[in-house]
């Protein structure tokens, strides 16, 4: 287990599992998951509502492939090495795009969000969980202060991103939002603001 995974384990048990359970079953139709990692969201998909599920990551991990083996209905699931800043899909083909704890380490956030918007159908929905710069002032200072060291220890992960701002700048409208873990985490769903 690396430094980041060790740190996140407590949050996974205390709150992330609950948020995954609440949000991931919203995914329906043709679904794209970005940065699937080891497949933490896999068991929460309602596969009856899903036509195809593209599980992607910049590098598909063996642990994801292993976790997939135990799943029923896997004929509708495909894995693919994909970087969010350059999605190898045509415009407007996905009903749902899912990403959880991914944009903290994407180098060009705006480019990634624009790609998500491009491949999402006009009536499609994005489902997300991210960690962001907390609202509490002392914590905000602390997160900004430790970010350079954290980024090195945690594989390029940033503690001080304002994901909602970046998302809204690229013309997404937040439909549902929950802040948790003393506002370190956000989870929610969003749609295109203009179609």
**What residue ranges bind ligand SAM (CB under 6 A)?**
34-37, 40, 57-58, 83-85, 100-102, 105-106
DSSP conformation class of 84: T
CB of 137 to ligand SAM, least distance (A): 26
CB of 60 to ligand SAM, least distance (A): 9
Question: Which CB, 162 or 195, lies closer to ligand SAM?
Answer: 162
Question: Which CB, 15 or 122, lies closer to ligand SAM?
Answer: 15
Question: Which CB, 19 or 125, lies closer to ligand SAM?
Answer: 19
CB of 73 to ligand SAM, least distance (A): 20
Cβ 139 vs Cβ 182: under 8 Å: yes
Question: Which CB, 27 or 102, lies closer to ligand SAM?
Answer: 102
59 vs 51: CA distance, rounded Å: 24
Question: Which CB, 34 or 127, lies closer to ligand SAM?
Answer: 34
CB of 2 to ligand SAM, least distance (A): 10
Question: For residues 44-76, b (16+ Cβ closer than 10 Å) or e, as one string?
Answer: bbebeebeebbbbbeebeeebeebeeeeeeeee
CB of 155 to ligand SAM, least distance (A): 8
Concatenating the DSSP letter of every residue in 112-178 gives: HHHHHHHHEEEEEEEEEEEE---SSHHHHHHHHHHHHHHHHHTTT--S---HHHHHHHTTEEEEEEE
Cβ 18 vs Cβ 10: under 8 Å: no
């Amino acid at each position: 287990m690396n430094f980041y995974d060790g740190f996140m384990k407590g949050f996974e048990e205390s709150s992330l599992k609950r948020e995954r359970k609440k949000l991931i079953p919203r995914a329906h139709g043709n679904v794209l998951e970005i940065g699937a990692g080891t497949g933490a969201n896999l068991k929460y998909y309602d596969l009856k509502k899903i036509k195809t599920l593209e599980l992607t990551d910049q590098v598909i991990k063996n642990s994801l492939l292993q976790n997939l083996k135990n799943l029923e209905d896997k004929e509708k699931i495909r894995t693919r090495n994909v970087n969010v800043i350059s999605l190898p899909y045509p415009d407007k083909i996905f009903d749902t795009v899912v990403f959880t704890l991914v944009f903290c380490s994407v180098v060009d956030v705006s480019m990634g969000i624009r790609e998500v918007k491009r491949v999402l159908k006009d009536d499609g929905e994005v489902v997300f969980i991210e960690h962001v710069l907390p609202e509490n002032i002392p914590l905000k200072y602390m997160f900004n202060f430790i970010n350079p060291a954290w980024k090195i220890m945690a594989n390029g992960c940033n503690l001080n991103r304002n994901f909602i701002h970046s998302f809204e700048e690229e013309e997404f409208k937040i439909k549902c939002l929950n802040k948790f873990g003393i506002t370190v985490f956000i989870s929610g769903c969003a749609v295109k603001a203009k179609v």
